[in-house]
Amino acid sequence: MSNYHLRDKNLSLKAKGLLSQMLSLPEEWDYTLAGLLFINREKIDAVREAIKELESAGYIIRTHERDEKGRLKGTEYVIYEQPQKENPEVEKPTSENPMQLNTYKRNKDTEYVIFAMERSKPAIRNIRAYLLTALYNAPATKAGHFLFMWLLIRPA
């Protein structure tokens, strides 16, 4: 193992230690957060922070692998003893690999959920779960809301 990273003043002591440990592990080791947590006493946030620091410094390159359906299959880690160049060449889109355009358009259900979310008094703790549930139930919720409002304001 080279000691280049140990002399890098841009790295924190935590990142230097984690990189030294990763370089000493066998290649078939599980370099995921779970695998690194298994051999360290630090919590997940500390290990994640060190990984991000090493990644931004160019010592680690992570690529996410996907299966044929586009689902996340795993992550491949490439660990270097010396930092790699900062801005790797990005593949330019070709006709076989066209650039993706964001074609998202808001619909009435989305507008209603955002409106209801803005009026919500208690803080929403799990926004992802709230949005999934609210958007799934939006047509029924919206219909019930407007029926209730109509019943309130209709002449008797």
User: What are the pLDDT digits (tens) for 81-127?
Assistant: 888 875 455 556 566 666 665 555 556 666 766 777 777 667 677 77
More confident residue, 3 or 154: 3
Q: How far apart are CA 21 and CA 107, in angstroms?
A: 51
Q: How far apart are CA 22 and CA 147, in angstroms?
A: 61
Q: How far apart are CA 37 and CA 43, in angstroms?
A: 7
Total number of domains in the chain: 2
Q: Which domain holds residue 50?
A: 5-79
Question: Per the domain annotation, does 13 fall within a domain?
Answer: yes
Helix axes 108-119, 127-153, angle to 10 degrees: 90
Inter-residue contact 47 to 37 (CB < 8 Å): yes
Q: How far apart are CA 22 and CA 80, in angstroms?
A: 10
Inter-residue contact 135 to 104 (CB < 8 Å): no
Span 31-39, average pLDDT: 87
Examine the pLDDT at 36 and tell me if it is beyond 70: yes
| Number of residues assigned to the chain | 156
- Reading the block at residue 75, the tokens are 């992550």
Average pLDDT of the residues of the chain: 77
Question: Per the domain annotation, does 16 fall within a domain?
Answer: yes
Question: Per the domain annotation, does 143 fall within a domain?
Answer: yes
Mark whether 18 and 64 lie in a shared domain.
Answer: yes
**This model's pTM is above 0.85:** no
Inter-residue contact 33 to 69 (CB < 8 Å): no
Q: Which residues 6+ apart lie within 8 Å of 36 measured at CB?
A: 18, 22, 47, 51
Give the side-chain half-sphere CA count within 13 A for 97: 5
Question: Per the domain annotation, does 135 fall within a domain?
Answer: yes
Mark whether 68 and 125 lie in a shared domain.
Answer: no
Strand partners, 62: 77
